Amino acid sequence: MSDSAQQPVTPAQYPPVSIVMPVRNESRHLENAVTRVLGQEYPGTLEVVIAVGPSTDDTHAIAERLAATDPRVRLVDNPTGRTPAGLNMAIAAAGHDIVIRVDGHGELADGYVATAVETLQRTGAANVGGIMDAQGVTPFEQAVAVAYTSRLGLGGSTFHLRTSPQGPADTVFLGSFRKDALQAVGGYDETLYRAQDWELNYRLRQHGETVWFTPELRVTYRPRSTLRALAEQFYETGKWRREVVRRHPETLNARYLASPLAVVAVVGGVAVGAHGSYHRVGPMRLGWLAPLGYLAMVVAGAAALRRDLPWPVRARLPLVFATMHMCWGLGFLVGLCPGERPEGPSGPL
């Protein structure tokens, strides 16, 4: 925590805030995300810095129109298209001492900015954040959203559960930062294409700062809309989380090992069971117990969730759970290939 925690902010003294948004291929959600930011009715000065990466849709045109319509919106070019680089560029261009990260597919709840500023001032933390409130539109998206907020889906991470109490945390969703704290640790690591939030918060904590979670902060998150997109997301996330563990072995914990062990058990069980069935080796047929047991677990887990779930959502949950577990676990086991692993320090802010 900062040596000199600031006094709580008063209504007449709201400090200016910079919102930073790294975007690429966000034509579906960008305008609504920016509109939610500008509609915060924050009493202090507010600016939005959008780092626009190369897109295959009309994201850049939408961003340019938003900047032309409202002088509070500014654009910076992110030729790499990568999230950590875009964040560092936007933070460097930010004109204010408080920086709040928002994604192009996220929607801030009413009063988010004011609550974030007050919490930063009250706690003296380097970063405060809240709930990743996953909400879907289609039955598949809704199933993914339910999986995000269940312990069976993502293992009960603090910022996925509305019941989590406020207080110091390992990491938070997105984040509202003191810019000086970001600069002191060198900003986001641009060699981590994913999992950069967790790693940044780890370095902040190692630097003696506090990362603070409060459920009063809520951001609506729009989950992936297809099974393939979900599988790719979790496979890549698993690979990059393995990279974080490679760089910081002390961060490995039991929760990270659950999905990789499930993959080993299911794949190994299928191989042993199939071999036993083909060669009629009775004991080896018991290998089928591992995949069947896992299937029973995800089906029972889906059935035990909220009673008000529509059946099209509940019916998709076992497949969503299995995709999350298997793809994240496989990615963690595989890790990054030598050609995928970027080396070298992150560019300082």
Residues 6+ apart with CB under 8 A from 267: none
| Neighbouring C-beta atoms of residue 250, cutoff 10 Å | 8
Asked if 96 contacts 20 with a C-beta cutoff of 8 angstroms, the reply is no
Alpha-carbon distance 223 to 145, whole Å? 6
pLDDT band at 231 (very low <50, low <70, confident <90, very high): very high
Instruction: Name, in order, each residue with C-beta under 8 angstroms of 10's C-beta and a sequence gap of 6 or more.
Output: none
> Does the CA dihedral 78-348-213-330 come out positive or negative?
positive
Each residue's pLDDT tens digit, 50-86: 999 999 999 999 999 999 999 999 999 999 999 999 9
Q: Residues 17-223: name the CATH superfamily.
A: Spore Coat Polysaccharide Biosynthesis Protein SpsA; Chain A (3.90.550.10)
Cα–Cα distance, 89 to 146 (Å, whole number): 34
Distance from CA of residue 79 to its chain's centroid? 22
Name the most confidently modeled range: 136-145, 189-198, 334-343. 136-145
Contact call for residues 188 and 181 (beta carbons, < 8 A)? no
For the segment 175-204, the average pLDDT, to the nearest whole number, is 93
Q: State the pLDDT at residue 253.
A: 82
- Per DSSP, the three-state class of 196 is helix
HSE toward the beta carbon, residue 276, CA cutoff 13 A: 15
Give 267: exposed, middle or buried? Use CB within 10 Å, 0-12, 13-18, 19+: middle
Query: In this predicted model, what pLDDT tens digit does every residue of 9-25 receive, in sequence order?
Result: 555 578 999 999 999 99
Please say whether the dihedral angle defined by the alpha carbons of residues 330, 336, 337 and 340, taken in this order, is positive or negative: positive
Least-confidence region, from 171-180, 196-205, 312-321, 330-339: 330-339
pLDDT of residue 122: 93
Mean pLDDT of the chain: 88
- pLDDT of 8 strictly over 80: no
Helix, strand, or coil (residue 74): strand
Q: Choose among 241, 253, 265: nearest CA to 322.
A: 265
Q: What's the mean pLDDT in 132-147?
A: 91
Tell me: pLDDT of 277 over 90.
no
Phi, psi of 134 (to 5 degrees): -70, 130
Helix (H) or strand (E) holding 247: helix 227-247
CB of 53 closer than 8 Å to CB of 82: yes
DSSP H or E run through 19: strand 17-23
What value does the CA radius of gyration of the chain take, rounded to a whole number of Å? 22
45-49, 99-103, 272-276: lowest mean pLDDT where?
A: 272-276
Residue 5 phi, psi (nearest 5): -60, 135
3-state secondary structure of 26: coil
Share of residues in the chain with pLDDT > 90 (%): 61
Q: What percentage of the chain carries pLDDT values higher than 70?
A: 90
Q: Determine the pLDDT at residue 348.
A: 40
218 phi and psi angles, rounded to 5 deg: -140, 135
Delimiting residues of CATH 3.90.550.10 domain(s) in the chain: 17-223
pLDDT digits (tens, 9 = 90+) for 17-48: 999 999 999 888 899 899 989 999 899 999 99
pLDDT at 181: 95
Distance of CA 117 to the CA centre of its chain: 21
- Measured CA to CA, the distance from residue 34 to residue 79 in angstroms comes to 21
pLDDT in tens, 285-339: 788 999 999 999 999 999 988 778 899 999 999 999 999 999 999 999 999 877 6
